Amino acid sequence: MAFLAEIKRRRVGKVAIAYGAVAWAVTEAASVVLPALYVPEWAMTFLVIFLLVGFPIAMVLAWVFDVSATGIERTEPLPGAPPQMQFRTRAAFGVVVVIAMAGLGYLLYERGLGRAEAAGSPSSIAVLPFANLSGDAGKDYFSDGMSEELLNLLARVPGLKVAARTSAFAYKGCNVDVREVGKELGVETVLEGSVRQSGDQVRITAQLIDAKSGFHI
């Protein structure tokens, strides 16, 4: 109870909440703005580290000083408090700061670094020939044409490297691991899909896959 009373008296809780809210807002905005401006990924990492390092500094300053109507004043210990009690209070405060810093770090990573990485666009891709599931080999021209059209459109995207058609179409009809395709073609992502035509209806499916993990993006 004495520790909670001291926290309330020194207004440390309010500073922690305010710092966390501002840090969250900054990382939330940076995770959207920095990738859009093509800022290097290390800038987001630096921002998160900077905010984490600033948290214990802000907590110590809030513990030592108080802002009042007369200005910034040093917060004195409670009168009559024994030195042993003061030591325990400071030790408990240090533990709380470490725990709060860990929680803040997790929050900033999830909303900052994690989101920025998710927002980053892959820089290379291979478009595999779409599978013809129509049951008519004579309609391969349609599925191949769909793949080639997508490849040509992606090749126009600035900054995106697209594997050559001859390299990608070498896997037509081959049941090969996407991770092997990515390794052989030197791409980060693979676009594959299928075309199914029945009468006047056409169903086209496409999946963008991480070439390193083999999982859908």
Interval 62-75 mean pLDDT? 76
Measure the CA–CA gap between 135 and 203, rounded to whole angstroms. 13
Q: Please give the CATH number for the structural domain made up of 124-210.
A: 3.40.50.10610
The pLDDT, as a whole number, for residue 6 is 74
Q: Which of 44-48, 83-87, 136-140 has the lowest mean pLDDT?
A: 83-87
Measure the CA–CA gap between 53 and 160, rounded to whole angstroms. 36
Mean pLDDT of the chain: 82
Q: What residues contact 179, with CB distance under 8 A and at least 6 apart?
A: 211, 212, 213, 214
Helices (H), 37-82: 41-64
Q: Which of 34-43, 98-107, 195-204 has the lowest mean pLDDT?
A: 34-43
Among 33-37, 82-86, 176-180, top mean pLDDT goes to: 176-180
Helices (H), the chain: 2-10, 12-36, 41-64, 83-108, 114-119, 140-154, 165-168, 178-185
Instruction: Convert the pLDDT of each residue in 87-117 to its tens digit.
Output: 777 888 888 888 888 888 887 776 656 555 5
Interval 54-79 mean pLDDT? 79
Domain edges within the chain: 2-119, 124-210
Measure the CA–CA gap between 86 and 63, rounded to whole angstroms. 13
The pLDDT, as a whole number, for residue 80 is 66
Q: Which residues pair with 126 in a beta bridge?
A: 190
Q: Which of 13-22, 25-34, 163-172, 187-196 has the lowest mean pLDDT?
A: 25-34
Residue with the bigger pLDDT between 74 and 178: it is 178
**Is 88 in contact with 96 (CB distance < 8 Å)?**
no
Q: What is the DSSP letter of 122?
A: P
The pLDDT, as a whole number, for residue 121 is 56
Measure the CA–CA gap between 54 and 142, rounded to whole angstroms. 59
pTM (2 d.p.) = 0.51
Residue with the bigger pLDDT between 51 and 119: it is 51
Q: What residues contact 216, with CB distance under 8 A and at least 6 apart?
A: 207, 208, 209, 210
When pLDDT is cut at 50, 70 and 90, the band that residue 192 belongs to is very high
